[in-house]
Structure 1
Amino acid sequence: MIVYLGGEAEVRIFEDVVHKIRRRKRYRIEKLDSILRKSRVKTEVNIIASARRCGVPTPIVLDVDGYTIIMERIKGTPLKEIMNEELSREVGRLTAKLHRKGIIHGDITPMNLIYKDGRVYFIDFGLSFYDDRIEPKGVDVHIYFESLKAYFENWIDLKEAFISGYREYEKAEEVLKRAAEIEERGRYVERRMM
């Protein structure tokens, strides 16, 4: 078993399944904490199912037990290890499908994308939520672009490939414009802090 501790959950990876356990936040009132964790587990499971229904490969949720989601383990390769333009274009197509249904992943990075049997799987919907506004979709895209910059020398080519796939979404131009505005906001803050 492999264990990862994140800010929101403990992830236990077994041979064929993954247990994602929402951990208690000691600074919160216990009853409120319990309500929030159960709500977030329910939301995450619902969004994973919605993503699958709109054609985005995700792990299959096998069971939910209190604060724990038990799902299939996707035994593939993280995109961080094999990223190329074709895969980034597919990430763009799949992100377009999510956004068309109002699903915001919240953490689209090459470590949360797994390649297996010719398909790109989206994993870790722990920060996901529903929202039809342009701003959260722009943030989703911006996070992906920033992760490309952090991991890959050819990030500009990968970004352009993503954009070509993402343009399948009817509101792509609005979202891409907003992602560029978000990047500019970050640059403005950086300049002001210097």
Structure 2
Amino acid sequence: MEKELKLGAEARLTLKDNIVIKERISKSYRLPQIDIPLRKDRTSKEASLLQKAARAQVNVPRVLKVDKENFSIEMEFISGELIDHVINENLAKELGREIALMHDNSIIHGDLTTSNIIVHRGKVFFIDFGLGEISDSVEKKAVDLRVLKEAIRANHPAAADKLNKIILDSYRKNSKKAAEVLSRLEDVEKRGRYKVR
């Protein structure tokens, strides 16, 4: 039996026999000669990112099958809860460590919100690399961290400062380029503050 997990702007996620199928949706406003290659490319790119992350021992769903012709990726289903519902100091520490591992392997998540982090058997797993890329850009790593900080601030206002400090301290201890990335994070946050809204 097939069950729809999520229907987003870019993709449909369904669950069948404990396998998640992510299928990129056609956009009617795009010309077919643009839409088809774009969906193929994004499907291929996301699968490659997940495979690279798995090889680096970052906790992500295993890719089981890639079907570029049908714009779909089949991957293992990670059961668990979104980190928002269960976050504590230990999980915050692990989250910092896992992001450091991801970034040190040149993987940018691209949408590092708490909606894309699942806790499974006490471990932190990242899902949805649809906006991710391979890059060593210090700026992009800093933006990943900024997005996460904002998500935690939005969902856990009372505990946000403490949780974010634990995450960043753990990142600092575990990432080879932490000093550079965290310095850039400060710049990114200053730019955000002075931006005309």
Offset, 1:13: 2.9
Equivalent-residue separation in structure 2 for 1:163 and 1:106 (angstroms): 18
**Residues 141-175 of structure 1, C-alpha deviations (whole Å, 9 max, x = no match):** 10011111011120111111111211111111111
The correspondence for 2:64, drawn from 44, 62, 66, is 62
Please show how residues 17-166 of structure 1 align to structure 2 within 5 Å.
Answer: 17-65=19-67, 66-152=70-156, 153-166=158-171
TM-score normalized by structure 2?
Answer: 0.92
**Residues 45-81 of structure 1, C-alpha deviations (whole Å, 9 max, x = no match):** 1110111111111111111223011111101111010
Contact (CA 8 Å) 1:142, 1:180: kept in 2 or not? no
Contact (CA 8 Å) 1:18, 1:71: kept in 2 or not? yes
**Number of residue pairs matched by the alignment:** 191
**Letter paired with 2:189:** E
Offset, 1:10: 1.2
Equivalent-residue separation in structure 1 for 2:95 and 2:57 (angstroms): 12
SS state of the match for residue 37, structure 1? Answer: helix
Identity %: 39
- C-alpha RMSD of the superposition: 1.3
**Letter paired with 2:89:** E
Long gaps (5+) in structure 1: none
**Letter paired with 1:158:** L
Counterpart in the other structure of 1:177:
183
Long gaps (5+) in structure 2: none
Offset, 1:15: 5.1
Deviates more, 1:9-18 or 1:70-79: 9-18
**Letter paired with 1:186:** G
